[in-house]
């Protein structure tokens, strides 16, 4: 029995299965506790306690919530399209989880010296990032189908808005990915991480691309300030107005799973994946020459490169830690920024982010042409572009739209 298990685990497929079980279980469990974490972050932002009744410091709140959602009556209103109404939350859950499949959690490892090198990730496919884009854009179906199947005006409009929003932000997202591919010349995520370990994190070289990508990731996940699809003041619950009990909860599982998987991709693209700190090889080499800190340098190198299972485990821990930090940023943004109006949202995507993303991609293309895609020139280009964007936005003033156009002009007020 033990031998048989060992044999399976020694193959790439076996390790993939192990990583998959850990990832799926981890994300499913994390989604429940992330909701508690989100409420705690909200409480922290608004200077109050947050949930603190169920268990120590409210730690068992997700269990109580889950039990309630499980037992609640599941209402399916009379006028809905039943098949699609039931199907939509399932898509949300499935699509949200598919993104973790190509995340390189821990680089390469081998069980014993001389054994084959195995990749600590579910699947290492040659189209890598293309898979991320393909799976990510399927997410829009759950919201649109849910909204449309509800046969409720709020839900329908929420679904339409979500479709327009997610489609619009897909374009700058794609442009950011193009910059990453041009910089590293790779489609595989683990290849990108290795390039970043050799030279520098892309988040440092291309900070503007990182910010753009983070913003589009917020919009793709339908998170505030881009949560117009479920804008309470205008649309009650938006696309999930008619949903209740576990079907409603599946939408939220999907949202949090989506958050986790996009954060994981972001870590691989911009934050050097499993590398504990930027330039850890150089810093490690330098520290090794400083006698009292030699152990620290050796440890940095060990974590980044060593193929032993323990190092891979530490790398996985580093990776998950970075993902956690990004998720905290998601929540921080949500409780800090007010929501956009819908026309502002569309303008931001098409008139600001698409041109910026294109300029960045063109710059990255020229850098490749000159043979230095991951040099300080990338950073310089980012800085100049940021300056230009600022100047243009100051010069163009505030746009007036819709009803504002037909308002009477008032003296002295621009």
Build a one-symbol-per-residue string for 162-191: x at contacts with another protein by CB under 8 A, - elsewhere.
-xx--xx-xx--xx-xx--xx-xxxxx-xx
By CB under 8 A, tell whether 71 contacts another protein.
yes
What is the token pair recorded at 318?
């580093």
Which stretch, 161-169, 222-230, 281-289, 387-395, contacts another protein (CB under 8 A)?
161-169
The three-state DSSP-derived secondary structure of 287-319 is HHCCHHHHHHHHHHHHHHHCCCHHHHHHHHHHH
Question: How far is residue 268's CA from residue 271's CA, in Å, rounded to a whole number?
Answer: 6
Which residues are registered as beta bridge partners of 118?
109
Quote the tokens at residue 276.
């504990």
Site residues for another protein, 320-379, by CB under 8 A, read 342-343, 346-347, 349-351, 354, 358, 361-362, 365-366, 368-369, 371, 373
Residue 236 within binding range of another protein, rule CB under 8 A: yes
Residue number, 296 or 365, with CB nearest to another protein: 365
> Per rule CB under 8 A, is residue 7 in the interface with another protein?
no
Task: Look at strands 118-119 and 108-109 and give their pairing.
Answer: antiparallel
- Structural Rg of the chain based on CA atoms: 23
Out of 32, 34, 98, 264, point to the residue binding another protein (CB under 8 A): 98
* Residue closer to another protein (CB basis): 249 or 271: 249
* Structure tokens given for 321: 């830690």
Query: Min. distance of Cβ 330 from another protein in angstroms?
Result: 22
When binding is defined by CB under 8 A, the residue of 115, 321, 390, 399 that contacts another protein is 399
Q: Rule CB under 8 A: say whether 84 interacts with another protein.
A: no
For residue 13, the minimal CB distance to another protein (Å) is: 6
> Phi-psi bin for 235: left (phi > 0), alpha (psi -120 to 50), beta?
alpha
* 212 in contact with another protein (CB under 8 A): no
16 near another protein, judged by CB under 8 A: yes
CA distance 111 to 114: 9
Q: Give me the DSSP letters along 187-217.
A: SSHHHHHHHHHHS--HHHH-HHHHHHHHHHH
| Cα–Cα distance for residue pair 402/414, rounded to 1 Å | 16
CB nearer to another protein: give 50 or 139. Answer: 139
Binding of another protein at residue 196 (CB under 8 A)? no
Total residues at interface with another protein (CB under 8 A): 90
Q: Are 335 and 45 in contact (CB under 8 A)?
A: yes
Which residue in the set 156, 261, 262, 304 belongs to the binding site for another protein (CB under 8 A)? Answer: 156
- What's the N-to-C CA distance of the chain in angstroms? 79
Quick one: 178 or 200, whose CB is closer to another protein? Answer: 178
């Amino acid at each position: 029995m033990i031998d048989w298990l060992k044999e399976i685990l020694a193959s790439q497929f076996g390790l993939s299965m192990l990583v998959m079980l850990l990832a799926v279980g981890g994300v499913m469990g994390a989604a429940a506790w992330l909701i508690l974490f989100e409420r705690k972050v909200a409480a922290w932002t608004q200077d109050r306690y947050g949930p603190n009744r169920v268990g120590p410091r409210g730690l068992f709140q997700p269990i109580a919530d889950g039990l309630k959602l499980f037992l609640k009556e599941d209402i399916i209103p009379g006028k809905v399209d039943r098949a699609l109404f039931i199907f939509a939350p399932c898509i949300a859950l499935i699509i949200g989880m598919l993104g973790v499949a190509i995340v390189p959690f821990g680089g390469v490892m081998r069980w014993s010296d001389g054994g084959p090198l195995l990749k600590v990730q579910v699947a290492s496919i040659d189209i890598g990032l293309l898979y991320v884009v393909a799976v990510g854009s399927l997410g829009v179906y759950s919201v649109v189908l849910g909204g449309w199947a509800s046969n409720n005006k709020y839900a329908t409009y929420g679904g339409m808005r979500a479709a327009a929003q997610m489609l619009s932000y897909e374009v700058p997202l794609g442009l950011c990915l193009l910059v990453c591919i041009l910089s590293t010349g790779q489609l595989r995520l683990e290849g990108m991480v290795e390039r970043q370990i050799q030279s520098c994190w892309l988040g440092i070289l291309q900070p503007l691309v990182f910010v753009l990508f983070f913003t589009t990731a917020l919009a793709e996940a339908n998170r505030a300030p881009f949560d117009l699809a479920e804008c309470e003041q205008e649309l009650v619950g938006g696309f999930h107005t008619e949903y209740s009990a576990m079907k409603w909860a599946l939408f939220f599982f999907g949202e949090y799973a989506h958050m986790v998987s996009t954060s994981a991709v972001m870590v691989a693209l911009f934050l050097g994946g499993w590398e504990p700190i930027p330039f850890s090889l150089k810093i490690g080499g330098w520290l090794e020459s400083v006698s009292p800190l030699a152990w620290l340098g050796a440890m940095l190198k060990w974590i980044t490169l060593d193929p032993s299972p323990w190092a891979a485990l530490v790398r996985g821990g580093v990776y998950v830690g970075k993902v956690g930090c990004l998720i905290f940023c998601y929540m921080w943004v949500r409780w800090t920024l007010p929501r956009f109006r819908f026309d502002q949202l569309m303008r931001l995507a098409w008139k600001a982010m698409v041109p910026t993303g294109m300029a960045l991609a063109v710059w990255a293309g020229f850098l490749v042409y000159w043979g230095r895609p991951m040099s300080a020139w990338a950073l310089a280009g980012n800085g100049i572009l940021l300056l230009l964007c600022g100047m243009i936005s100051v010069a163009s003033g505030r746009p007036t739209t819709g009803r504002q156009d037909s308002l009477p002009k008032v003296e002295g007020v621009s």
